[in-house]
Structure 1
Amino acid sequence: MGTFIIFIIGTIFGSFYNVIICRLPYGESIVTPSSKCPQCNTKIKWYDNIPIISYLILKGKCRNCNASISVQYPLIELTTGLFTFFLYKMYGFDINFFKYFVLLSILLCAGVIDFKTALDDNFETGIIPNELSLGGFLPGFIFALIEKRIIVSLVGAAVGFLLLFLPGFIYKLLTGKEGMGGGDIKLFAMIGSFLGFKPLFFILFASSLLGAVVGVIFIAISKNKDYPIPFGPFIGLATFIYIFFGNTLINAYLKILTA
C-alpha cells in the first residue's frame, strides 16, 4: 500500500508537469488560470482532472465538447508515477531519492518541451526553457551542499558544459552551421551539477547513440536530411537509463572486456 501511494503521488506531480510542458514554452503562467479545454475553453472540474483515471473514464474526450484529449497527459502522469515508484524501491526516502526525482522531473519536462516545440511551426527549432536548464542548477548545487560534494558538482557542471560546447564550437568553425543548441549545452551542464562529471561520458555516448539511431530512421522515413532533430529528449532518456541501469550496463561491459 505504501509503494502504491508513492506511485499515486508521482502521478499527481506528473499532472503538474503537463501544465509546465504546455505553458512554459509560450511564456504563460504555470499557476493561473486553472486548467481548461484548449478547444472550448471550459474549466476542467477537479473530478475530470484526476491523473490517468479521468482520461480513461472520459475515453480521451472533453466532457463538454467531445474534443480529443492528447495522450501526452496520461503518459506523462504514468511515466512520473513509475519513476517515482522505482526510485522509492531503490533508495527509500534517502537523499538519492529526492535528488534523482528532481533531476528526472526536470529532464522529463525539458525533453518533452524540446520535442513538441521542434514540431511546432511557432518555433524555428526545439527549445529548452532556461527556467528548466539554468533553473536546475540551484537544486543541483543545493543537493551537492547537503552531500558535501560541492567541488564535484561544480566540476561536473563545467565538464558537462565543455563536452557539448567544444564539439559544437569546432563544428560551427568548420561548417558555419550551428552544431549544438545552447539549450542542450546548458541542460548537459545542469546534469553535471547533479551527478558530477564521471556519469556524463556514459550519458553522452548513450544519448548520441540513441539520437543517431532515431535520426537515421527519421531520415529514411521522411527523406529530409536537413530536419533538425532535437537532442534534449535523448539526453534525458540516456540519463534515465544511467540512473536505473547504468551500473549494471557498465559492469556488464567491463566483464566483456576482461573475459
Structure 2
Amino acid sequence: MDYLFFFILGLIFGSFFNVVISRLPYGKSIISPGSSCPKCGSKIKWYDNIPVISYLLLRGKCRVCGVKISIQYPLVEIITAIITVGLYYKFGLNVYFVQYFVLISLLICAGIIDLITALDNDFETGIIPDEISLGGIPVGIIFGILQKKLIISLIGGLVGFLLLFIPGFVYKLFTGKEGMGGGDIKLFAMIGTFLGYKPLFFILFLSSFVGATIGLFFIYLFKNREYPIPFGPFIGLATIIYIFFGDYIIQTYLKMIA
C-alpha cells in the first residue's frame, strides 16, 4: 500500500509538472486559468484530467474537438511516479527522500522545457527558466542547512557554476561563439547546492558522454550540424542516475581498476 500511495502521489505531481512545462517557458501563469485544450480552448473537466487514466480513456484526444494530446503528458506522469516509488524504496520517508524528490522534480521540468523550446521555432535555442535554476539554489541551500552541511552546499553551488562557466568562457574567448548556455551553468550550480561538489564531476562526465553520443547520432541522422541538441536533459538524466546508482557505479569502477 505504501508503494501504491507514492505511485499515485508521483502521478499527481507529474500532472502538475506538465502544467509547469507547458506554461512557464511561454510566460503563462501555472496557477490560473484551469487546464484547457490548446486547440479549441474548451476547459478540461476534472474527470478528463485524471493522470494517465483520462489519457487512455480518451485515446489521447480532446473530448470536444478530437485534437491529439501530446504523449508527453502521460509519460511525464508515469516517469515521475516511478521515480517517486524508487526514491521511497531506496531512502524511505526522510529528509533525503524529500531533498532528492525536489531536485529531480526541478530537473524533470528543466530538462523537458529545454528540449521542447529547442525544437520550437519561437525560440532561438532551448531555455531553462531562471525560476527553476536560480529558484532552486536557495532550496538546495536550505537542505544543506537542515543537514548541517551549509558549507558543502555553498561550495557545491560555486563549483557547479565554475565547472561549466570556465570552459564556456574559454570557448567563447577563442571562437567568438557561445560554448555553454547560461541556463545550463545555473542548473549545474543548483545541482551543486543540493548534492555538494563531489558528485558534480561524475554528473558532468556522464552527461557530456551521453549528450555527445546522442548528439552525433542525430547530426548524422539528419545531416545537419546545426541540429538543436539541448544539454539540460542530459544533465538531469545523469543526476538521476547518480542519485540512484552513483555509489554502485563508482565502487564498481574502482574495483575494476584496483
TM-score category (smaller protein): over 0.9
CA drift of 1:2 comes to 1.5
Query: Helix, strand or coil for the counterpart of 1:97?
Result: helix
Q: Which residue of 2 aligns with 1:119?
A: 119
Q: Which residue of 1 aligns with 2:74?
A: 74
CA drift of 1:249 comes to 0.7
CA drift of 1:92 comes to 1.1
Q: Which residue of 1 aligns with 2:157?
A: 157
For residues 143-182 of structure 1, the aligned pairs below 5 Å read: 143-182=143-182
State the TM-score, normalized to the length of structure 2. Answer: 0.99
CA distance in 1, matches of 2:83, 2:219: 31
CA distance in 2, matches of 1:212, 1:225: 12
Aligned partner of 2:57: which letter? I
Aligned partner of 1:62: which letter? C
Gap regions ≥5 residues in structure 1: none
**Which moves more between the two structures, 224-233 or 183-192?**
224-233
CA drift of 1:112 comes to 0.1
CA distance in 2, matches of 1:118, 1:37: 23
Q: Which residue of 1 aligns with 2:200?
A: 200
Q: Which residue of 2 aligns with 1:220?
A: 220
Number of residue equivalences: 258
Q: Could you tell me whether the CA contact under 8 Å between 2:114 and 2:126 is conserved in 1?
A: yes
CA distance in 1, matches of 2:215, 2:90: 33
Q: Deviations over 1:139-170 (max 9, x none)?
A: 10111110010000000000000000000000
For residues 207-246 of structure 1, the aligned pairs below 5 Å read: 207-246=207-246
Q: Deviations over 1:89-124 (max 9, x none)?
A: 111111100000000000000000000000001000
Q: Deviations over 1:187-231 (max 9, x none)?
A: 000000000000000000000001011011011011111234110
Structure 1 ranges of 4+ moved more than 4 A: none
Query: Helix, strand or coil for the counterpart of 2:54?
Result: helix
Aligned partner of 1:245: which letter? F
C-alpha RMSD of matched pairs (Å):
0.6
Q: Deviations over 1:33-87 (max 9, x none)?
A: 0000111111000000000111011110111111100000000000110100010
For residues 1-259 of structure 1, the aligned pairs below 5 Å read: 1-258=1-258
Gap regions ≥5 residues in structure 2: none
Q: Could you tell me whether the CA contact under 8 Å between 2:218 and 2:227 is conserved in 1?
A: no
